[in-house]
């Protein structure tokens, strides 16, 4: 591009008619000395060595270039010219002795006068040999050839250019290398508030805040020399802050182009005010990183912030922080009973309360649902976190007030908090997040409305629970669940029925006890699906067993609270009975005392419906004696049997126990209820006097819970 632009038509012509050719041929033909050349040349000639050091120059040169006669000598010619021209001249020096000299043409050179003002010259360079030493002559002169024509062309081009720039809405400004504005279109008034006459001749710098211009002027300079072909990959746009006439500052996008007139380079700037776009971008950014409801940051913002924390932490190791995961306790009930609007209000109030409590430097996020996350970035002492958590618990426990259809509601909720300390509990986002989540899980598990600070021991138990939760979702589909049956025997030791007990063979953890996974299943609601499967499966197998063994055993099925509360529970039992064709007298449902404590009316209603639809079906209270107000309710309940909890049997022969068992047995007898003693492991248990009126036993003394196959074996050996 450089050589192309320097070898313009007009230059070629001047080369043919110009003097350098004469001078050059004289040197070649006559072997004239360097000194003679300088003395005889009518044009400015400078003699330089291969490094560019000026060996000599004629007086015409120093006059025209604007120097004292000898002050050029010893200075470096290459260093004096602008860098952009320097490389070009060097190239010329390299090729000046080569046979394709014929192709050599005039080129444009800029050279400073003594005051440093750059002027343009046309030049030609040729090599000179004396005693085997190579040096160069640079022949310069002020271009005047075809100037008139060129000026006309330029004017015409400028006219076209101006017409074009007036049609576009962006500001177009042309500046010279000293950053003076040469041209401005009329759109400049919209962008900068200056009209074109105010701009032309003024410094480009006035369109920017001072610090912006001083930071970017180097960058702008580059665009003067950027050639489109060479720098295709370089960005042609810059986003910078501009300043308008009223001194308002706004973001600008500037696209650059340049042109090389004969005498100078010109930078063309197309300037757009991008305030509007920036505002839209800012709004979109805000929306993308914030939760609409509470206006807290969202998960994406959290990712960005925590990455930033770790980045800063690497430089300031003394920094300490904490990550808090919060999950509201009881939010779901509010949502379910008072409606989504109340739920939303509660979330908004919670966000406000947290914002009011935490410091400005703490970040608060909502991850969706009732999950909040707090990033404490400046923790003075690790022990401070306990104080923070206690405050959070307190602020959330304060009653929330709502108004719905003119009525005022007061709602109380709690919050489970998990804490991981930064960076001691994780030095990357993934680990720290997992640990805070596990700690929160632990808080939920150990009774909610509390905080737990992460510790390594937590990981194992919480991880197990997490795996259980995940695995439960697919356990039934993957056929990992099956039933065991534990015989329930009469006083003679003959099986009267069996209790169906669920087992889960977890693919990674092996067989997991129902005590471990039933609570999780209750929490997630999966218990309904699992419970339905248990009832259907147990009824099917017991019917098959009775048929095969020609027996009349009953099956006792455990039912959990959430299952019984489900509106379709009675339908599920109806369907299972109808589908399997089992005699309802062979089905017992085991409920725990907590049912009657939590919602006695509903429980009683469900039981009555079942009994009406399926006469013969029996209801058993499981783990009897572990609840507290059971005695009070027992008389009112449509219940047929009680199971004395195995914790009492375990304590035999403690004296206190005897009293409790006696009173339970007396009560059951007086209410005409059947009794089953659970957890009978020894003869001593079985023959324990207070259990004398107990009709049935269940426990390892008779049999452990058995697979269907083993149960058949057990029953077969019993009948022989
Ligand atoms: P549960 O209903 O009280 O069941 C009796 C538990 O005592 C069973 O534990 C049984 O294996 C155990 N057991 C029986 N005899 C003895 C003994 O002599 N000594 C000792 N130490 N233990 C004995 P399992 O199978 O681990 O079940 C635990 C609990 O899980 C059950 O207690 C029941 O509440 C629940 N569960 C089991 N299967 C189901 C189910 O299908 N649905 C529901 N909702 N809960 C179930
Ligand atoms: Mg049971
Ligand atoms: Mg029990």
Whole-number Cα distances in Å, 400 to 91, 277, 396, 691: 82, 41, 9, 52
CA of 473 to the centre of ligand 3 (A): 26
400 CA distance to ligand 1 centroid (A)?
Answer: 41
Lowest model confidence (mean pLDDT) among 149-153, 405-409, 515-519, 566-570: 149-153
pLDDT band at 713 (very low <50, low <70, confident <90, very high): very high
Instruction: Work out which ligand 1 atom sits closest to the CA atom of 527.
Output: 44
CA 138 centroid distance within chain: 64
**Exposed (0-12), middle (13-18) or buried (19+): which is 443, by Cβ within 10 Å?**
buried
Mean pLDDT score across all residues of the chain: 85
Is 50 exceeded by the pLDDT of residue 18? no
Three-class secondary structure of residue 368 per DSSP? strand
Q: Is 420 in the pocket of ligand 1 (CB under 6 A)?
A: no
The arithmetic mean of pLDDT across residues 38-64, rounded, is 85
Using the atom order of ligand 1, give the atom closest to the CA of residue 590: 2
Q: How confident is the model at residue 227 (pLDDT cuts 50, 70, 90)?
A: low
Ligand 1 lined by 370 (C-beta under 6 Å): no
Q: pLDDT tier at 558 (50, 70, 90 boundaries)?
A: very high
The whole-number pLDDT of residue 500 equals 98
- pLDDT above 60 (res 509): yes
Average pLDDT over residues 120-143: 82
φ/ψ of residue 350, rounded to 5: -60, -45
DSSP state of 629: S
The number of residues in the chain equals 720
Counting from 1 in the atom list of ligand 1, the atom nearest the Cα of 534 is: 41
The predicted model gives 494-505 an average pLDDT of 96
Is the CB of 487 inside a 6 Å radius of any atom of ligand 1?
no
- What pLDDT, on a 0 to 100 scale, did the predictor assign at position 9? 35
Q: Provide CATH code, domain 473-719.
A: 3.20.20.450
Q: What is the mean pLDDT of residues 260-266?
A: 69
Which contacts (CB < 8 Å, 24+ apart) does range 384-389 have?
385/322, 385/419, 385/421, 385/453, 386/451, 386/453, 388/322, 388/324, 388/358, 389/324, 389/417, 389/419, 389/451
Angle between helices 456-475 and 429-445 (to 10 degrees): 80
pLDDT at site 102: 45
d(CA 168, CA 110): 34
- How far apart CA 555 and CA 576 sit, in angstroms, is 13
Query: Comparing 472 with 102, which gets the higher pLDDT?
Result: 472
pLDDT at 252 over 70: yes
Determine contact, residues 192/200, Cβ cutoff 8 Å: no
Closest CA to 642 of 666, 669, 676: 676
C-alpha dist (Å) from residue 155 to 9, 202, 264, 645: 17, 21, 15, 107
DSSP 8-state symbol, 81: S
* Ligand whose nearest atom lies closest to the CA of 497: 2
Q: Radius of gyration over alpha carbons of the chain, in Å?
A: 47
Task: Indicate the range of 143-157, 158-172, 283-297, 418-432 predicted with least confidence.
Answer: 143-157
CA angle 88, 89, 95 (to 5 degrees): 95
Residue 8 confidence (pLDDT)? 33
Q: 650 Cβ partners below 8 Å, 6+ apart?
A: 679
What is the model's pLDDT at position 149? 55
pLDDT of residue 153: 60
Q: How far is the CA of 601 from the centre of ligand 2 (A)?
A: 22
Average pLDDT for 508-519: 89
Tell me how far apart the alpha carbons of residues 419 and 32 are, in angstroms, rounded to a whole number.
Answer: 92
Task: Say if residue 228's pLDDT is above 70.
Answer: no
The beta strand positions in 552-586, using DSSP E, are 554-558
Cα separation, 657 vs 648, in Å, equals: 6
**Number of the ligand 1 atom closest to the C-alpha atom of 531:** 42
Pick the CATH number of 6-143 from 3.30.56.10, 3.30.450.20, 2.40.50.140, 3.30.70.3270: 3.30.450.20
Assign 640 to helix, strand or coil.
coil
Instruction: Give the phi and the psi of residue 707 in degrees, each rounded to 5.
Output: -70, 165
Please work out whether the CB of residue 515 comes within 6 Å of at least one atom of ligand 1: yes
Cα distances (Å, whole numbers) of residue 608 to 111, 566, 613, 639: 109, 16, 9, 10
Q: Atom 15 in ligand 1: which residue has the minimum CA distance?
A: 699
The alpha carbon of 622 and the centre of ligand 2 are apart by a number of angstroms equal to 6
From residue 680, give the alpha-carbon distance in Å to each of 494, 675, 688.
15, 13, 10
Given the candidates 3.30.70.270, 3.30.420.280, 3.40.1410.10, 3.60.10.10, the CATH classification of the domain at 292-454 is 3.30.70.270
Question: How does strand 618-624 pair with strand 510-512?
Answer: unpaired
* In the chain, % of residues over pLDDT 90: 46
Q: 3-class DSSP state for residue 110? A: strand
pLDDT score at 1 = 33
Q: pLDDT digits over 450-467, tens only?
A: 999 999 888 777 677 778
Whether 625 contacts 660, CB under 8 Å: yes
Q: What contacts 405, CB < 8 A, 6 or more positions away?
A: none
Of 66-75, 211-220, 496-505, 591-600, where does mean pLDDT reach its minimum? 591-600
Measured in Å, residue 229 CA sits from the centre of ligand 1 at 81
Give me ligand 2 centre to Cα 665, in Å.
19
Q: How far is the CA of 28 from the centre of ligand 3 (A)?
A: 119
Q: Does residue 317 register a pLDDT over 80?
A: yes
**Cα separation of 410 and 345, whole Å?**
12
Which CATH number is associated with domain 148-278? Answer: 3.30.450.20
CA-698 nearest atom, ligand 1 = 15
Q: Where are the domains of the chain?
A: 6-143, 148-278, 292-454, 473-719
pLDDT by residue (tens digit) across 152-163? Answer: 666 676 677 777
Residue 117, pLDDT > 70, answer yes
- Ligand 1 atom showing the smallest separation from residue 705 Cα: 11
Measure 238 CA to ligand 2 centroid, in angstroms.
Answer: 75
Q: What is the pLDDT of residues 319-359, one digit of tens each?
A: 889 999 999 998 988 888 888 888 999 999 999 999 999 99
How far apart are the C-alpha atoms of 355 and 172, rounded to whole Å? 48
Point out the ligand nearest to the CA of residue 556: 2
Q: Would you state the pLDDT for residue 5?
A: 32
Lowest-confidence range among 138-147, 431-440, 572-581? 138-147
Task: State pLDDT tens for residues 691-711.
Answer: 999 999 999 999 999 999 999
C-alpha dist (Å) from residue 543 to 50, 550, 586, 689: 110, 10, 9, 36
Rounded Cα distance between 657 and 670, Å, is: 20
Query: How much is the pLDDT for 393?
Result: 96
Ligand 1 pocket, residue 681 CB under 6 Å: yes
Report pLDDT for 410.
Answer: 86
Mutate to test the pocket of ligand 1, among 486, 501, 589, 595 (most ligand atoms within 8 A of CB): 501
Q: In this structure, how many other beta carbons lie within 10 angstroms of the beta carbon of residue 439?
A: 26
Q: Quote the pLDDT of residue 677.
A: 95
What pLDDT is attached to residue 294?
95
Give 202-208 contacts, CB < 8 A, sequence gap 24+: 203/179, 204/173, 204/175, 204/179, 204/180, 205/179, 206/243, 207/173, 207/242, 207/243, 208/240, 208/241, 208/242, 208/243
> Measured from the CB, is residue 456 less than 6 Å from ligand 1?
no
Among candidates 262, 155, 245, which has minimal Cα distance to 202?
A: 245
Higher pLDDT, 706 or 233: 706
Cα separation, 670 vs 635, in Å, equals 10
Ligand nearest to the CA of 518: 1
C-alpha pair distances (Å), 119 with each of 14, 137, 155, 263: 19, 19, 21, 8
How many whole angstroms from 644 Cα to the centroid of ligand 3? 8
pLDDT of amino acid 367: 94
Q: CA separation (Å) from 290 to 293, 294, 298?
A: 9, 8, 5
Residue 593 in this model has a pLDDT that exceeds 90:
no
Phi, psi for residue 139 in degrees, rounded to 5: -105, 120
Distance CA 514, CA 491 (A): 28
Q: Say whether 148-278 and 6-143 share the same fold.
A: yes
The answer to whether 243 and 207 have CB atoms below 8 angstroms apart is yes
CA nearest ligand 1 atom 17, residue: 679
Quick one: average pLDDT of 500-508? Answer: 93
On the question of pLDDT at 309 being above 70, the answer is yes
Q: So what's the pLDDT on residue 277?
A: 86
pLDDT, tens digit (0-9, with 9 covering 90-100), for 418-428: 999 999 999 89
Instruction: Give the percent of the chain with pLDDT over 70.
Output: 88
The helix (run of H) or strand (run of E) holding residue 183 is strand 181-184
501 ligand 1 Cβ < 6 A? yes
Q: Which of 363-372, 656-665, 681-690 has the least mean pLDDT?
A: 656-665
Bigger pLDDT: 318 vs 42: 318
Q: 98 CA distance to ligand 3 centroid (A)?
A: 107
**7-11, 202-206, 333-337, 444-448: which range is least confident on average?**
7-11
Question: CA-based angle 414:419:422, to the nearest 5?
Answer: 155
- Residue-level pLDDT at 663: 82
Picking from 528, 581, 537, the residue whose alpha carbon sits closest to that of residue 557 is: 537
Determine the Cα–Cα distance for residues 116 and 127; give it in Å rounded to an integer: 27
What's the pLDDT at 659?
80
Question: So what's the pLDDT on residue 66?
Answer: 80
Instruction: Please tell me the residue having the least CA distance from ligand 1 atom 41.
Output: 502
Atom of ligand 1 nearest to the CA of 643: 3
591: β partners: 621
CB-based contacts of 711: which residues, under 8 Å, 6+ apart?
Answer: 485, 487, 498, 545
74 Cα distance to chain centroid: 64
């Amino acid at each position: 591009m450089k050589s192309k632009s320097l070898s313009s038509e007009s230059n070629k012509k001047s080369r043919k008619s110009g003097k350098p050719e004469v001078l050059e041929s004289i040197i070649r033909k006559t072997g004239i000395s360097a000194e003679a050349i300088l003395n005889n040349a009518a044009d400015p000639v400078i003699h330089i060595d291969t490094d560019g050091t000026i060996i000599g120059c004629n007086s015409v040169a120093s006059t025209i270039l604007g120097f004292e006669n000898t002050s050029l000598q010893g200075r470096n010619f290459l260093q004096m010219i602008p860098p952009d021209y320097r490389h070009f001249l060097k190239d010329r020096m390299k090729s000046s002795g080569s046979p394709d000299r014929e192709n050599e043409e005039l080129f444009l050179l800029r050279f400073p006068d003594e005051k440093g003002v750059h002027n343009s010259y046309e030049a030609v360079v040729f090599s000179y040999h004396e005693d085997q030493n190579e040096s160069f002559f640079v022949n310069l002169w002020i271009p005047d050839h075809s100037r008139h024509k060129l000026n006309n062309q330029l004017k015409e081009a400028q006219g076209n250019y101006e017409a074009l720039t007036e049609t576009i809405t962006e500001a177009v400004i042309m500046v010279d290398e000293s950053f003076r504005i040469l041209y401005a279109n009329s759109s400049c008034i919209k962008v900068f508030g200056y009209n074109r006459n105010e701009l032309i001749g003024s410094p480009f710098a006035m369109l920017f805040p001072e610090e912006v211009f001083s930071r970017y002027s180097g960058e702008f300079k580059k665009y003067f020399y950027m050639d489109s072909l060479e720098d295709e990959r370089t960005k042609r746009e810059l986003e910078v802050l501009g300043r308008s006439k009223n001194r308002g500052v706004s973001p600008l996008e500037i696209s650059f182009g340049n042109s090389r007139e004969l005498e100078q380079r010109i930078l063309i700037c197309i300037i757009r005010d991008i305030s509007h776009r920036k505002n839209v971008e800012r709004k979109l950014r805000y929306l993308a990183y914030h939760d609409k409801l509470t206006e807290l940051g969202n998960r994406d913002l959290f990712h960005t912030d925590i990455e930033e924390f770790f980045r800063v932490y690497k430089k300031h190791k003394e920094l300490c922080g904490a990550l808090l995961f919060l999950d509201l306790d009881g939010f779901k009930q509010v949502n379910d009973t008072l409606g989504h609007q109340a739920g939303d209000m509660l979330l908004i109030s919670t966000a406000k309360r947290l914002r009011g409590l935490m410091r400005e430097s703490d970040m608060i996020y909502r991850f969706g649902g009732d999950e909040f996350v707090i990033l404490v970035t400046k923790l003075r002492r690790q022990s401070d976190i306990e104080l923070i958590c206690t405050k959070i618990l307190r602020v959330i426990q304060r009653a929330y007030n709502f108004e719905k259809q003119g009525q005022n509601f007061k709602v109380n909720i709690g919050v489970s908090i998990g804490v991981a300390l930064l960076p001691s509990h994780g030095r990357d986002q993934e680990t720290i997040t997992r640990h805070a989540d596990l700690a929160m899980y632990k808080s939920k598990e150990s009774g909610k409305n509390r905080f737990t600070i992460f510790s390594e021991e937590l990981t194992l138990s919480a991880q197990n629970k997490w795996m259980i939760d995940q695995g439960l979702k697919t356990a039934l589909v993957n056929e990992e669940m099956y039933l065991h049956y534990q015989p329930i025997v009469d006083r003679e030791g003959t099986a009267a029925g069996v209790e169906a007990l669920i087992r889960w063979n977890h693919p990674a953890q092996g067989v997991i006890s129902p005590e471990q996974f039933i609570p999780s299943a209750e929490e997630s609601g999966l218990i309904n699906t699992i419970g339905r499967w248990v009832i259907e499966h147990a009824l099917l197998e017991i019917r098959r067993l009775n048929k095969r063994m020609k027996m009349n055993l009953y099956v006792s099925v455990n039912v959990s609270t959430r299952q019984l509360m489900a509106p379709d529970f009675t339908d599920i039992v109806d369907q299972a009975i109808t589908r399997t064709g089992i005699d309802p007298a062979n089905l017992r449902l085991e409920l725990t005392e907590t049912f009657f404590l939590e919602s006695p009316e509903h429980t009683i209603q469900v039981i009555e419906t079942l009994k009406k639809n399926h006469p013969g079906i029996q209801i058993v209270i499981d783990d009897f004696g572990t609840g507290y107000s059971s005695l009070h309710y027992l008389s009112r309940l449509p219940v047929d049997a009680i199971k004395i909890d195995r914790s009492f049997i375990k304590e035999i022969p403690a004296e206190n126990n005897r009293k409790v068992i006696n009173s339970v047995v007396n009560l059951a007898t007086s209410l005409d209820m059947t009794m089953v003693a659970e957890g009978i492991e020894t003869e001593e248990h079985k023959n324990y006097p207070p259990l004398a009126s107990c009709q049935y036993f269940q426990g390892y003394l008779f049999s452990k819970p058995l697979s269907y196959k083993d149960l058949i074996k057990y029953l077969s050996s019993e009948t022989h």
